[in-house]
Each structure stands twice: as C-alpha cells, then as structure tokens.
Amino acid sequence: MAKLEGDLDPLWQDLDWAIGQMLIMGWDGTQVTPQIRHLIEDHHLGSILLTAKNLKSAHQTAKLVQELQTIAHQAGHPQPLLVALDQENGGVNSLFDEDYICQFPSSMGQAAGGSPDLAYNVAKATATEVSAVGVNLILGPVLDVLTNARYQPLGVRATGDDPQEVSQYGIAAMNGYKAAGVATCGKHFPSYGNLDFLGSNLDVPIITQTLEELSLSALVPYRNAIATGNLDAMFVGGCGITNPSMNVNHACLSDQVVDDLLRNELGFQGVAISECLEMEALRTEVGVKTGTVMAVEAGCDLVLLCRAYDIQLEAISGLKLGVENELLTRERVYTSLRRVLRMKASCTNWTKALNPPGISLLSQIHPSHLSLSMKAYEDSITVMRDHEKLLPLNESMHQEEELLLLTPLVKPLPASAMTKTLESKGKVKSSASVHDEWAHSSRDRGAIMSGEGVFRELGRSLARARHGKLLHTSYTANGVRPVHENLIHRASTIIIVTADANRNLYQTGFTKHVSMMCSMLKASGQKKSLVVVAVSSPYDFAMDKTIGTYICTFDFTEMAMYALVRALFGEFTPRGTLPGTLRKSRKVLKSRQHWLVEPYDRDRDGKGMRDLLQSLARASAPNHSYLSTTNPDAFELFNPNIEESHFVVRNSSTQALYGFCATYFTKGSGIIGALFVDPAKRNLSIGRSLHRRAIRNLVQRRGIKKVQLGMCLPGVYLGIPVDNEFTSLRNWFASCGWDLQSPGGTSKRLSNMYIPDLNTWSSAAPPEGLLQNIQRAGISFDLVHGLEQSGESVLSHVATHSSPEVYELYRLALQESKTCGVVRAKSSVGEALLGTVIIACPGSPLATLNPALVGAGQVQIGGIVAPVVPSTQQAGLVLQGLALMGVRQNKAHKAGRSVVSWVGEEFVEALVGMEFLGLQAFEEVGNSPEGFQGAE
C-alpha cells in the first residue's frame, strides 16, 4: 500500500475520501436535496458546481452555500468545498439579482472597449460579488480564439479572433479574479473556437486543425496564461480532435490532450477539470463508469457530473472500480488530490467558507459596481458604420415621425429579469447551464422564445425617448409579412435587431429584404432610414457595407439595451471598436504609416527583386523552397489577353526592394497573383500599402466582376499558402477587407503534388485495376499539340469549365507545341471531352512561370498542370487517367520527377492513391469587387 507523504492528512489514506475530492457535481433545485447532502456526507464530495437552476437571488445563494459548507464541515471534511460558478458576464451569468449583482459586458464586449485595465476591474468586481455569496472558483476566463468567428456558437463569450488580444484580455480577467481572492479556471482547452458540428445528437463537435495550427493560434492564450502562474485550473473540453497526428473522440478523456499537450508541452501544473461526463455522446459510447476512469487516466483531477444523481453514483463507483482493477494507482489518486487541496488552500478556509458576508458587503459595493457597469457598457457600444449620419436619431428624425423597431425571436438570457419573472410565474423552466449547451441532447428545446418579450423594455425605452412615436413588432423565419410592410411604410426610420444572424439565417434574409424595401422607397422620394443593431455576434453584417448604419452591443442584457438607447439618442458618443482582426483593419486605415508604392520597373528593380526572392526563400517554410529558383521574369506574362500591373515598395537610395505585388486583369477577373514583403521589414505596413494600391488598381478596371487571391498563370502562388503561417496570413487578408468565410466570398483549396522518383515508379503503382476501370468506362486519351482544330476543342472545354486565367494558360501551352501539349480524356459516346491536362517537358517555358516545375540540382521535372475535369461520377477516374498519361509522357521525356500543379481538393485523394505526395497547398479566394469599393 502506498504511504502518504507528510504533506497529506492521514484521513486521505481512506481512498473513499480521496476519490470524493476528485469529483465536482451539481444538482437541480434551489435548496439542499437529500441527494446532494448524501454525496457530501457519505461520499465525501469535495466540489460543487452551481448553475442558474440553483440560484434565485444573492441572499438565497449565500444561505445555500453556507448550508452546503456547514454540511461538509460537520461531516468532517478537512477543507471546505470548492464552490464553482459560471459568471462570464454578458449572456452567461448563473447568478442574477438586479438589486445586488451587477451585470457587465461579455468578453468580446469588454474587448470592444479597448481597455485591459477596465477588463481587470470588471473581473475583480464580478469575483468580489460572487465571493460575497460563498463562491470560491470562477469557471473563467474564456481563453478560446475564434478562428472561425462568424459561425461559432461560442460567439461573444470569447474575446475575438486575435490570439494575442485574447491573451491580453484573458490574463487581465484572470488577474482580476485572483485579486478578489477567487480561484481561476481557463476554458475550454484545447479550444472551442473553431468547432465543426456533425449534426447528430450523439455526435460531439470536433477540432480539425493540426497541432501546428493550434499551436500558432488557439493554444497561444493558454500558453501565455499558464506562464503567468496565476491560472489555478483548466477546463478541458469534451470535443473531438481529428487531424493527421491525433484522433480523439473526447479531449478530456485523452492523455494526448491532458497529460501530453496541456501538462508536458504547455507546462500546466494546476487542476485539470473535465467537461461534464453526462454528455449523451460519451454515455452512449463508453459509459460513465469507464469515462470517469478514462478522464483520470488522461490526467484530469476533477471530473464534472452536472446534475443526475444516479449517474453521479455511477461515476463514484467507476473510480472505486478503477482503483480495484489497478487501472488507477493510489499514487495517481494522490497526485490529483494534492493539486485539488493546493487550489482549495489558495482560495478558501473554514472561517471564510462558513461566514460569507452576503448582502452586507454587496449593498456597500453595489453603487460603485453599478457605475463601473455603466461605463463598461458605454465603452463597448460600437458603431461600425454610419454612412448616412443617422446617429444620433434625435437629430436625424423629426419629432412627429415614427420609429419602427423589428426584433427577432430569441431565448431570454438566464441572467435577466424576464427569465426570473417567467420562472416565478411557472411559465418557463430554469435555464440550462452552460455545459448543457451541447452536452445534453435531452435539454428542453422548447424554451420560451419571444422577440417582443425579450426586447419589450428596449421598446419601452425607445418609446420614452420618442414620446410615444414608436412601432414595435417581431419577425420570424416567415420573412416579411404584410404587417411588416404596413409598418415600414408608416415609419421614417427602421431599427432591425439581429442576434447571431449567421446561425439564424432567416434574420439575414429578413434584414436584406427590409433594406431593399427602404432603398426602393427612398428612390421614390420617401424618407426611409435603416439602422441595424447586432445584439450578439458583431459579425452578422460586419462585412456587408450595403448596411449603411451598423451598431454592435455584444449582448442583449437590460444594461446593454439601456446603453444602446442612450447611444442612439446622443447621450454619449460610442467609441467601441470591433475586437481582433476587424479592429486591426480599422486601425490600419486610420493610423498606420503609408509607404510610397511605385510601378515595377524590370530594368531598375530586377536585381532588387532577385535579392528579395532569395530573402523570402530563406525565411519561408521548407515546402516553399521552390522560391529559391523563382526568377523575376515569372511574374511578367506579356500576354495580350491579360493586362498586368506590378508594384513595389523600394528604398530609392539603396535600390533595395522591401515588397512586391503582382496584379492581373482578364475577362472581368482582377487577380493578385503575388504579394510578398522582405521578412526583415514585416509588420511595418508595407504589405498593406501594396495591397491598397493593388486593390485600387483592380476595382477601377472597366467590367470588373471578381477580385481573386492566387493564380495559376503565373503559378508562383496559387493562393494563400497553407503552411505554418496560414492562420495569421488568412487573418491578415481578412483585416484587409477580404471576406474569407461568409457566403459573400468563395474559396477553394489547391495543391501541388509530386512523385519524387519516376525511376522507381511504374504503372503497377496506381490503384489495382485502374487501367481496366478506365477501359470499362469507355474513356480514351490522346495528346494534342498546337492550336489547330483539336486545340480549339480543348480551349472550348476549358472556357466552359474553368476560369479565364486557366484558359490563357492552356492557350500558352498549345502555342508552345515543342515542349508542351494537352492530354484529352474522351468518352466513347460521341467523343465528348471528359477532361484535360497540360503536359510540360523538363525545361519548358511553363517552368519559368511555375517554379514548382524547376528542378533542383540534376533532377529534371516534368509537369502535369491545371487539370480541368468537370464534376461527374467518373471525375476521379478521369483525373487518375489524365495523371497516368501525364506521368508516362514525363518519363518519355527523361524526367526524374513528376509534379502535378493546381489540383483541386476533391482530387487529392485520387492522386494519393497513385503514390503522389503533397508538395504545397494553397487557398484561392474570390470576392465581389463591391466589398472593396472606396478602397484608399
């Protein structure tokens, strides 16, 4: 039997006591139940999670916690209970009492205020209040980075999409909690900021980013918070992880996540808390008994079970069986016990636990906290656009004009007067806890939803400001109804409220419809002003400049709506800014230095360009080493069908180039084919200055229909490089105005792939039966050179199924008949073309324009370029056949290596089956030019 070290009380020799300290549990109800008493007294439960279901008021909460601690004390617990609470502010507060507990903005709302000091003060105030009622552990701060900000349900609970900004505000909040004497818990490790939801009740959301991508973005705030030494605990999520190096169903059950990543790599020594193991997916997949053991084996110290008593007993039984079956050693149990006891010692003691100050303290601090709340909300209100100068409304509206308020159907926030009123009348059940959001599929999906109800007080406040001249109704997924049309005709100004429109698309459609109506009515001479207010995610219409006046509040609590009304009517000037990359993009336009951008001159800039390319090659990821063989001539096409303009930022004294941007225009497409900056000169706005000039040059072109990042002719950059800087590059382009996520933008993943040694590759290498399958499908192939009749059929096929620049690439290949050709795949039925691909001999002119085709050393490279295969059931087979013909041609021309360039994501797997390997990957992006109108 393992002996206890001197730092542990002999009581812990009884493993039942030790196991009780490794569990954190909750229950439903506002009073101590026999079940929760039994868990504390007989199973030595050491930690409690309180949710909105347990709490009616500050006074009741203090009494409840005091009773729980008294039960533990009388039962012989050596240390008080940990009492944990979600009190993130914004829409996620478990404790609400409008007389004693102050409401503050959400994490993103606080970041919009632009002051980490204010975030610290808010966190300290929040922790002081919950500490007064006996809470000693706040489940916060939220350290998630919103990698895919528009579509993530975490929304405004997170600070934003910039890892450093999330770190800054997360650490400020953490320090504020600690200053109030409360323990802290970062969440939701490794990240809830970019989850894919699979749809089924039994599925869990998954992370698909690689560890390298996570390390560069999502893990940054966790790493920084851990480094401060002030983070007491870490909440480990229940999401899955699927990437090439990790296949995990539930992060909190994986030693790869908890022990390896969190503890060994990031150096976390505190308490790891699991996601609630009552998750439907986990219960169905492994069962709670086994899951509890797995969580501890993985490295978790506290296992969370939210509310179901029978499941909680099952978990306790599971831990005891785990020790009996020697799956868990005593040493492992004592390791977690020490961590938990160390955290308890830092945030509580029996004197404090048994005597919470409660209302006596809260009544003293409430006035100052209320002032802080009002300031925080005023600072958070963000006017992103007001093109028509509609604000304040009291200056743009006449007194006799009517104002129309249109609000969506939303669920009341748990921390709101409306929810408490409905609960007291028995009209709605207590709101589910934060952990119930997706963990419990059995949650009440029919919760009350009332747009007019939730926003009734907003309507009343607007009516008071307008002396009764207000119309208010809600809207639904049924769209614009006759009642809406009648009210719109009556009102001179319309305010539309949206709440996470990107995930409730009916709101987007309704708003667009009303916007179009207002435009048509204005065109007929009527006054119709439109104001859109996003009361949750600021991304609803952040990039849609057709919405001329756009305001963000970041939550729709009573305090937020009160600040909104005051902002609308000019009682203060809103100064908030959108956090993360959106804030950075606005700052760039306002404050960053502008570099002189000049047209590229090949005679003047040729040497500087070669030096710049070499500097770039040395600093780039290994899979972009081809830049070392890139020649400045690669960017100049001299093609009569493509207009090109290239720009540089240069030192006129030394002739050194600091940055270069290549732009092209053909048949309505304006393309940035390359944009790069000397690695030693980055973060100085050189890239932004080049980008600004390039966009201005492109959007002014007559007939422009599309702007695009990435190009196959030249093929230096097919898009944004997908490498270890991919996330930061995407964020950078987003901050420059590119829409990389919403339906307003299009993107596709393109790859270069290769067979490294053709001497060891044979036609036996492709998937078994490939040739027979091609024959059975009636597919034949031929090789075309030149622009005669067959060449015209190729160009017709490419023009139909691909883009203008690909068409010009094929035209060039057909003209270079000595070194290039095109393989056609034809159907036996009518000889219809099924697909085409360019074949380039080693050393062909195409190699100048696509450096991936340039060999290093003695290796000769054959090219298989720009396959154009329409989407059909046979598309994969057609592509494999074209690739096989291409490899045979390459071998016939003595190439030692084959490179296939510009491969769509849908064909990568087919080529992997032929033993092609990945070389480089890119993301080509297309946007409407309207998104860049007015670019400086």
Q: Please tell me the distance from the alpha carbon of residue 305 to that of residue 375, in angstroms, as a whole number.
A: 38
CA angle 376, 380, 382 (to 5 degrees): 155
Q: Are 173 and 126 in contact (CB under 8 A)?
A: no
**617 pLDDT higher than 90:** no
Q: What is the pLDDT of residue 410?
A: 85
Other residues' Cβ atoms within 10 Å of the Cβ of residue 329: 12
For residues 844-852, give the mean pLDDT.
92
Q: What is the pLDDT of residue 421?
A: 59
Q: Which residue has the higher pLDDT, 846 or 619?
A: 846
Q: Are 206 and 241 in contact (CB under 8 A)?
A: yes
Angular region, 843: left φ>0, alpha ψ -120 to 50, beta rest: left
Tokens of 905: 């994501």
- Give residue 305's pLDDT band: very low, low, confident or very high (50, 70, 90): very high
Residue type, position 417, single letter = A
Give, to the nearest 10 degrees, the angle between helix 726-735 and helix 581-591: 50
**935 pLDDT higher than 60:** no
Q: Which residue has the higher pLDDT, 697 or 443?
A: 697
Q: Please tell me the distance from the alpha carbon of residue 578 to that of residue 586, in angstroms, as a whole number.
A: 9
**214 pLDDT higher than 90:** no
Q: Are 814 and 795 in contact (CB under 8 A)?
A: yes
Tokens of 716: 């230096």
Q: Are 109 and 580 in contact (CB under 8 A)?
A: no
For residues 459-487, give the mean pLDDT.
94
For residues 218-232, give the mean pLDDT.
92
User: What does the CA dihedral 212, 213, 215, 218 come to, rounded to 10 degrees?
Assistant: -160
Q: What is the pLDDT of residue 284?
A: 77
**775 pLDDT higher than 60:** yes
Residue type, position 84, single letter = A
For residues 68-89, give the mean pLDDT.
97
Q: Are 554 and 112 in contact (CB under 8 A)?
A: yes
Q: Please tell me the distance from the alpha carbon of residue 732 to that of residue 585, in angstroms, as a whole number.
A: 8
For residues 874-901, give the mean pLDDT.
95
Q: H or E segment at 876?
A: helix 875-892
Please return the burial class of 822, using the count of CB atoms within 10 Å of its CB with bins 0-12, 13-18 and 19+.
buried
Q: Are 518 and 484 in contact (CB under 8 A)?
A: no
DSSP 133-179: TT--EE---B--B-TTGGG-TTGGGS-BS-HHHHHHHHHHHHHHHHH
**Which of 241, 158, 235 lies closest to 193 in space, CA to CA?**
158
Other residues' Cβ atoms within 10 Å of the Cβ of residue 905: 12
- Give residue 763's pLDDT band: very low, low, confident or very high (50, 70, 90): low
Q: What is the pLDDT of residue 627?
A: 82
**572 pLDDT higher than 70:** yes
- Give residue 5's pLDDT band: very low, low, confident or very high (50, 70, 90): low
Bridge-based pairing of strands 87-89 and 470-475 is: unpaired
**Which of 10, 15, 80, 14 lies closest to 47 in space, CA to CA?**
80
| pLDDT, tens only, 475-503 | 999 999 999 999 999 999 999 999 999 88
Residue type, position 40, single letter = I
Q: Are 287 and 359 in contact (CB under 8 A)?
A: no
**Which of 805, 656, 795 lies closest to 717 in space, CA to CA?**
805
Q: Are 282 and 441 in contact (CB under 8 A)?
A: no
Strand blocks (E) in 612-699: 643-650, 657-666, 669-677
Q: Average model confidence (pLDDT) for the chain? A: 89
CA distances from 431 to 29, 56, 255, 435, 552 (A): 12, 12, 33, 11, 25
Q: Please tell me the distance from the alpha carbon of residue 62 to that of residue 473, in angstroms, as a whole number.
A: 40
Residue 612's SS3 state is helix
| pLDDT, tens only, 325-342 | 999 999 999 999 999 999
Beta-carbon contacts of 577 under 8 Å, excluding residues fewer than 6 positions away, are: 112, 114, 382, 583, 586, 587
Q: Are 505 and 519 in contact (CB under 8 A)?
A: no
* Percent of the chain surpassing pLDDT 90: 71
- Give residue 454's pLDDT band: very low, low, confident or very high (50, 70, 90): confident
Q: Are 787 and 764 in contact (CB under 8 A)?
A: no
| pLDDT, tens only, 501-531 | 988 899 999 999 999 999 999 988 899 999 9
In 648-803, where does DSSP find H-type helix?
A: 686-699, 726-735, 770-776, 789-801
**Which of 239, 358, 255, 355 lies closest to 299 in space, CA to CA?**
255
**613 pLDDT higher than 50:** yes
Q: Which of 360-369, 473-482, 586-595 has the lowest mean pLDDT?
A: 586-595
Q: Which of 115-119, 605-609, 679-683, 805-809 has the lowest mean pLDDT?
A: 679-683
How many Cα atoms occupy the beta-carbon half-sphere of 769 within 13 Å? 3
**587 pLDDT higher than 90:** no
| pLDDT, tens only, 789-837 | 788 999 999 999 999 999 999 999 999 999 999 999 999 887 789 999 9
- Give residue 432's pLDDT band: very low, low, confident or very high (50, 70, 90): very low
Tokens of 12: 């812990």
Would the CA dihedral through 677, 680, 686, 688 be positive or negative?
A: positive
Please give the backbone phi and psi of residue 382, each rounded to the nearest 5 degrees, phi first. -125, 120
Beta-carbon contacts of 594 under 8 Å, excluding residues fewer than 6 positions away, are: 685, 689, 692
| pLDDT, tens only, 705-749 | 999 999 999 999 999 998 767 777 888 998 888 988 755 568 899
For residues 414-431, give the mean pLDDT.
55
Residue type, position 710, single letter = G
Q: Please tell me the distance from the alpha carbon of residue 253 to that of residue 292, in angstroms, as a whole number.
A: 8
Give residue 719's Cα distance to chain centre.
20
For residues 600-621, give the mean pLDDT.
86
Q: What is the pLDDT of residue 246?
A: 81
Q: Please tell me the distance from the alpha carbon of residue 166 to that of residue 317, in angstroms, as a whole number.
A: 40
**610 pLDDT higher than 80:** yes
As beta bridge partners, residue 835 has: 825
**Which of 870, 865, 836 lies closest to 850 in space, CA to CA?**
865
**198 pLDDT higher than 70:** no
Q: What is the pLDDT of residue 76?
A: 96
Q: Which residue has the higher pLDDT, 415 or 907?
A: 907
Q: Which of 166-170, 444-448, 734-738 has the lowest mean pLDDT?
A: 444-448
Q: What is the pLDDT of residue 934?
A: 53
**437 pLDDT higher than 80:** no
Would the CA dihedral through 733, 509, 555, 56 be positive or negative?
A: negative
* Percent of the chain surpassing pLDDT 70: 90
Q: Are 840 and 706 in contact (CB under 8 A)?
A: no
Q: Which residue has the higher pLDDT, 306 or 857?
A: 306
- Give residue 449's pLDDT band: very low, low, confident or very high (50, 70, 90): very low
Q: Are 595 and 691 in contact (CB under 8 A)?
A: no
Separation of first and last alpha carbons in the chain: 74
Q: Which of 194-208, 267-281, 904-918 has the lowest mean pLDDT?
A: 194-208
**548 pLDDT higher than 50:** yes
**200 pLDDT higher than 80:** no
Q: What is the pLDDT of residue 584?
A: 54
As beta bridge partners, residue 709 has: 672, 925
Q: Please tell me the distance from the alpha carbon of residue 147 to that of residue 132, in angstroms, as a whole number.
A: 36
Q: What is the pLDDT of residue 765?
A: 65
Residue type, position 204, single letter = V
